[in-house]
């Protein structure tokens, strides 16, 4: 009757269409417009930066996992996301050797030593960036002017600096809107921020494309919308409140929302599923905490940009949030009594 044997599997015998690698791949698709626009704005420097970042992360993940005995480490696309995001947070003309080192560090110490995918406490892209911030503080705060005429023909000298040598910058350096705000109290038009016409890290300039990418993921149910909403909401509410108190000292809500890496961080970094809490209520709390930290660091901290540290802080707190905020089990708690 049969050619082949029957199979016996464990129930359930039908499964939904979701798959981890599909989800990760879709996040990569959502990031591609942002990456493409970044190359458009900053030219060859950005292209080389993204390729190096991606390459460093992929290579590290592959080598470390093969050494650990994992046969197919790149199957889930999670490290692709890490590579892209890590590249998008760096200044466009950062020396490539620094980019490479940061990528290796981020994947090795932000992901591999914790146990790989699913076990990392922190977002590996941010760990990499934190390393660069700590090791090369000057280089990471030197920004490139956008839309320079020769950006597709000329690679900045800083990008191709030889390993372990200090970079020498061309005159194409400019300040970010946040730095302008913090150190020179100079505001930038919100329209410019949204459309990506300002200087900044590679991926943070076009808030519009980032939001579109986020909406795509939310529509496909691959992202918890509560985290970005809570995060951005907290930042907006806090900044509007303080702006109302003293408009000259505190920038308004919209400026805060669209400047710097907040959009990219809120939509793509804070929503890293492994590093965020596992209940919806916990995720909302996590978003609010990060939002508060962002505002505090930006306004009262020593740096003009606080998203990275705020998110790392949120990642550290997320396991504790999970311990305290648990779903209510059927048959326990207040609904026990007869109605």
Partner 1 sequence: MLILTALGALGGLTVVLALLLIIAYKKLQVKEDPRIDIVEEMLPHANCGACGYPGCRPFAEALVREEALPGKCTVSSDEGRQQIAAFLGVDVGASEKQVARLACGGGINVARNRARYQGLQSCEAASLVSGGGKECFWGCLGLGDCVDACDFDAIKLNAFHLPVINEDKCTACGDCVVACPKDLLSLHPVSHRLWINCKNLEAGDEILEECKVACTACGRCAMDAPDQMIVMKENLPVIDYRNYQDTTKPMERCPTGAIVYLHPQKGKITGPKARPVIRTSARTDAPT
Partner 2 sequence: MGLFNTLPTFQRGIHPGDFKDLTRHLPIERMPFSAELTIPLSQHLGAPSKPRVKVGDTVQRGQLIAEPGGFVSIGQHAPVTGTVTAIEPRPHPTGRMVESIIIATDPFSPQTFYNEHPMDWEALSPRELISLIQHGGFVGLGGAAFPTHVKLSVPEGKHARFLIVNGVECEPYLTSDHRVMLEEYDDLFYGIRILQKILDVRQVYIGVENNKEDAIEVLRNHVPDDMACEVIALETKYPQGAEKMLIEAVLHREVPSGKLPIDVEVVVNNSGTITGIGHMFRFGQPLIERVVTVTGPGIKRPANVRVPIGTPLTELLNFCGGITDDTRQILFGGPMMGAPQARLDVPILKGTSGILCLTENEINVREEYPCIRCLRCVDVCPVGLNPSRLGALAKSRDYEHMLDFHVMDCVECGSCSYICPSNIPLVQRFRVAKGLLREQQARNKAS
Q: Which residues contact partner 1 (rule: CB under 8 A)?
A: 1-10
**Which is nearer to partner 2, 221 or 249 (by Cβ)?**
221
Contacts of 235 (CB under 8 A, 6+ apart): 253, 256, 257, 262, 291, 294, 295
Cα separation, 207 vs 192, whole angstroms = 10
Residue 324 binding partner 2, by CB under 8 A: no
Distances in Å between the Cα of 127 and the Cα atoms of 107, 164, 193, 276 are 8, 20, 26, 15
- Quick one: which of 2, 164, 191, 300 contacts partner 2 (CB under 8 A)? 2
Task: Note whether 7 binds partner 2 by CB under 8 A.
Answer: yes
Q: Distances from the Cα of 337 to the Cαs of 171, 235, 331, in angstroms?
A: 73, 41, 9
* d(C-alpha 34, C-alpha 40), whole Å: 10
Smaller CB separation from partner 2, 14 or 162: 14
**Number of residues forming the site for partner 2 (CB under 8 A):** 48
Within 10 angstroms of residue 165's Cβ, the number of other Cβ atoms is 9
In three-state secondary structure terms, 59 is helix
| Cβ proximity of 266 and 276 under 8 Å | no
283 binds, among partner 1, partner 2, none (CB under 5 to 8 A by kind): partner 2
Nearer to partner 1, 1 or 165 (CB): 1
**CB count in 10 Å sphere of residue 282:** 21
Q: Which of partner 2, partner 1, none has residue 67 at its interface (CB below 5 to 8 Å by kind)?
A: none
Q: Residue 71 CB, nearest distance to partner 1 (Å)?
A: 16
What does 165 interact with, of partner 2, partner 1, none (CB < 5 to 8 A by kind)?
Answer: none
Question: Contact region for partner 2 (CB under 8 A) — 53-61, 99-107, 183-191, 271-279?
Answer: 271-279
DSSP code at position 325: -
DSSP state of 336: G
Instruction: Give dist(CA 287, CA 265) in Å, integer.
Output: 11
Rounded to whole angstroms, the Cα distance separating 82 from 86 reads: 6
- Beta carbons of 195 and 184 less than 8 angstroms apart: no
From the list partner 1, partner 2, none, partner contacted by residue 19 (C-beta under 5 to 8 A by kind):
partner 2
Closer Cβ to partner 2, 6 or 162, answer by number: 6
How many CB atoms lie under 10 A from the CB of residue 6? 5
For residues 200 and 287, which CB has a smaller minimum distance to partner 2 in the complex? Answer: 287
Closer of 245 and 329 to partner 2 (Cβ) = 329
What are the residues whose beta carbons fall under 8 Å from the beta carbon of 184, sequence distance 6 or more? 175
Residue nearer to partner 2 on the CB measure, 240 or 279:
279
Interface of this chain with partner 2, residues 199 to 218, rule: CB under 8 A? none
Determine the Cα–Cα distance for residues 32 and 34; give it in Å rounded to an integer. 5
Q: Which of partner 1, partner 2, none lies near 84, with the C-beta cut-off 5 to 8 A by kind?
A: none
| 202: partner contacted, choices partner 2, partner 1, none (Cβ within 5-8 A by kind) | none
x/- letters, 21..60, toward partner 2 (CB under 8 A): xxx-------------------------------------
- Binding-site ranges for partner 2 (CB under 8 A): 1-4, 6-16, 18-23, 75-76, 78, 116-119, 224, 273-274, 276, 278-280, 283, 322, 326-332, 335-336, 338-339
């Amino acid at each position: 009757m049969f050619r082949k044997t029957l199979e016996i599997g464990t129930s359930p015998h039908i499964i939904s269409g979701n798959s981890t690698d599909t989800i990760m791949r879709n996040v990569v698709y959502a990031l591609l417009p942002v990456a493409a626009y970044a190359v458009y704005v900053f030219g060859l420097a950005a292209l080389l930066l993204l390729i190096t970042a991606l390459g460093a992360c992929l290579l590290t993940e592959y080598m470390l996992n093969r050494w650990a005995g994992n046969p197919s480490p790149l199957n889930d696309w999670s490290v692709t996301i890490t590579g892209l995001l890590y590249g998008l947070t760096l200044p466009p003309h950062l020396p490539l050797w620094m980019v490479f080192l940061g990528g290796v560090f981020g994947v090795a110490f932000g992901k591999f030593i914790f146990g790989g995918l699913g076990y990392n406490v922190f977002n590996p892209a941010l760990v990499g960036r934190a390393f660069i911030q700590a090791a090369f503080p000057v280089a990471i705060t030197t920004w490139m002017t956008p839309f320079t005429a020769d950006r597709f023909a000329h690679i900045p000298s800083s990008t191709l600096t030889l390993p372990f040598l200090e970079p020498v910058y061309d005159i194409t350096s400019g300040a970010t809107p946040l730095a302008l705000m913090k150190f020179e109290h100079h505001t930038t038009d919100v329209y410019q921020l949204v459309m990506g016409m300002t200087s900044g890290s590679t991926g943070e300039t076009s808030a519009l494309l980032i939001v579109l990418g986020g909406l795509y993921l939310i529509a496909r149910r691959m992202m918890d919308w509560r985290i970005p909403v809570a995060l951005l909401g907290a930042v907006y509410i806090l900044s509007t409140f303080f702006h109302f108190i003293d408009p000259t000292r505190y920038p308004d809500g919209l400026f805060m929302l669209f400047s710097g890496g907040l959009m990219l961080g809120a939509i793509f970094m804070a929503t890293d599923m492994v590093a965020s809490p596992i209940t919806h209520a916990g995720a909302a709390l996590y978003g609010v905490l990060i939002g508060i930290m962002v505002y505090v660091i930006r306004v009262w901290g020593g740096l003009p940009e606080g998203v990275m540290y705020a998110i790392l802080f949120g990642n550290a707190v997320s396991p504790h949030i999970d311990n305290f905020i648990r779903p209510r089990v059927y048959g326990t708690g207040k609904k026990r009594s007869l109605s």
